[in-house]
Structure 1
Amino acid sequence: MLTTQRKQQILSLLKRDGQVVAKDVSKAMGVSEDTIRRDLRELAQEGLLQRVHGGALPASPAVADFAGRELLRHEGKVAIGMAAAAMVRPGQVVILDGGTTAREVARHLPSDLQATVVTHSPTIALELVHHASVEVILLGGRLFKHSIVAVGAETMDSIRQIRADTFFMGVTGVHLQTGLTTGDYEEAAIKRALSGAAAETVVLASAEKLNAASPYRIMGLEKVSSIVIERGTSEVVTKEYEAAGVNLLRA
């Protein structure tokens, strides 16, 4: 089997099963594990999968920059944003992550809602400029231009002063094995800290993020209260999460 054929078969298995195990693939194809590991390494360099110990998982398309993510499944993000916005209660202090799905949460907060939104995203803050009864606390720090959010020591120090009701977290990957992941090491640390500053964490996960993984782990799924997903997400995809006790809310 040619290398290109072997790689294509690996990608087909990944699409069908949601993961590949190097040992199993090497036996099925009659080649060494070293050969399969090399194939996985090269496919990962092309951004076609995410390597994990012993194999690989689908790579998340949501690791693109902010402008690129605006093109991904916009209708689903709107629905998730509306559902999450409806969860905010008057008088609450909520933390709103950066990203295109979180922006939909900001856009759909009720016009008469009186609450406080804490965010490290200038984009989110600007969305709420004309919301008369929502107080906005914008956390400072170094601007991570890829996601348009603040990161770094100053951001961390500010997070330590917060005690919020809910953190609405954006991620690039959700997987039962690897948990919640994102594409930047420092951003993952900020998301962990924001989650620790809130009584509960609600994850915003459009369809392309489920069963996908990115390089940097934020936390395990057991640390979140619920995950808001698109209403039309296939039960084939969700049944394993529900069986594992993950609370899925369909938008």
Structure 2
Amino acid sequence: MLKKERQAYILHRLNLHNKVLSTKLGEDMKVSEDTVRRDLQELANAGKLIKVHGGALSLAFNEVQFTNGTIYSQSQKAIIAQKAIGLIKEQMYVLTSGGTTIIEMAKQLPPHLKATFITGSIPVLNAYVSHPNINVIVVGDRVNKEARITVGASAIAKIREVNADLCILGTNAIDLQRGITDSDWEVVELKKAMIASSAKTVCLTIAEKLNSFEALQVCGLQQIDYLVTELDPDDKLLRPYVKAGVTVL
């Protein structure tokens, strides 16, 4: 791959997953880690990503408040957010993870809604506290600076005390064989606890992340009750998930 092609690939992966690892990029592009590091440095110098040890982060992690200019597929995520809101009923207890799609959902919650939202995601909390009628519960512990969410034993213990009606997850990757997967061990453990403490699990993802996977499994497909994308539920890309028993919105 030419340098221009490599760097376009890196930015695309970053837009999809918010975080990339140098080792994985090297394997995917069949180049050395030194080559990847030089590409990441050039992109960082150009203001297109945030270079960190072992890889890079999306510019979305540069601020607590996300702006439309740094959100990938914002219009698709707005559609997903509206669909997900349709699942939230009055007086529900809702556990949510982090991510730009969850933030979009938080911003679009109807002003009259009275429900309780529980999260440790700092950007999501920022959006929830502006809502006039919802209750907000913070799950506290050490902050994972890359994911901007609280993680660790105390956060997981708190989540296990909850009996939530819904668990709404932002998704890094999903496919038929591996279910929901991610690349951050601490976030994976947090999401597992959220799923275990909820009556129903809702997976939010742009269609581009369908049929992709990361190294660490969050849950199998059988643990997902609803899959929400920007596509029409009858889209052929979603048919295998419907066949697997997931309700698609």
Task: Please classify the TM superposition score into its range, dividing by the shorter chain length.
Answer: 0.7 to 0.9
Contact 1:90 1:113 in 2 (8 A): yes
CA pair 238-186 structure 1, distance change in 2 beyond 3 A? same
Q: For the residues of structure 2 that align with 1:78 and 1:130, how far apart are their CA atoms?
A: 18
CA pair 234-225 structure 1, distance change in 2 beyond 3 A? closer
Q: For the residues of structure 2 that align with 1:132 and 1:233, how far apart are their CA atoms?
A: 32
TM superposition shift of 1:46: 2.4
Q: For the residues of structure 1 that align with 2:208 and 2:145, how far apart are their CA atoms?
A: 22
Q: For the residues of structure 2 that align with 1:78 and 1:117, how far apart are their CA atoms?
A: 19
Deviations along 1:25-80, one digit per CA (max 9) or x if unpaired, are xxxxxxxxxxxxxxxxx99442638xxxxxxxxxxxxx954717943211111111
Q: Name the counterpart of 1:207.
A: 207
TM superposition shift of 1:120: 1.1
TM-score, length-normalised on structure 2? Answer: 0.73
Q: Name the counterpart of 2:26.
A: 46
Contact 1:65 1:147 in 2 (8 A): no
Aligned pairs for 1:140-151 (under 5 A) are: 140-151=140-151
Contact 1:226 1:246 in 2 (8 A): yes
Contact 1:180 1:218 in 2 (8 A): yes
Q: Name the counterpart of 1:154.
A: 154
Q: Which amino acid aligns with 2:110?
A: P
Q: Name the counterpart of 1:78.
A: 78
Which runs of 5 or more structure 1 residues have no equivalent in the other structure? Answer: 5-41, 50-62
Contact 1:66 1:148 in 2 (8 A): no
Aligned pairs for 1:1-251 (under 5 A) are: 44-46=24-26, 48=28, 64-65=57-58, 67=60, 70-231=70-231, 235-249=235-249
TM superposition shift of 1:195: 0.7
Contact 2:207 2:231 in 1 (8 A): no
Q: Name the counterpart of 1:7.
A: none
How many residues align structurally?
A: 197
Which runs of 5 or more structure 2 residues have no equivalent in the other structure? Answer: 2-21, 30-55
Deviations along 1:124-161, one digit per CA (max 9) or x if unpaired, are 11112221210100111111111111101111111121
Q: For the residues of structure 2 that align with 1:244 and 1:105, how far apart are their CA atoms?
A: 26
Superposition RMSD in Å = 2.5
Contact 2:95 2:194 in 1 (8 A): yes
TM superposition shift of 1:243: 2.2
Contact 1:86 1:109 in 2 (8 A): no
Q: For the residues of structure 2 that align with 1:91 and 1:241, how far apart are their CA atoms?
A: 30
Greater RCO structure (CA 8 Å; 6+ sep): 1
Q: For the residues of structure 2 that align with 1:89 and 1:73, how far apart are their CA atoms?
A: 27
Larger of the two Rg values belongs to structure: 1
SS at match of 1:159: helix
Contact 1:207 1:233 in 2 (8 A): no
Q: Which amino acid aligns with 1:156?
A: I
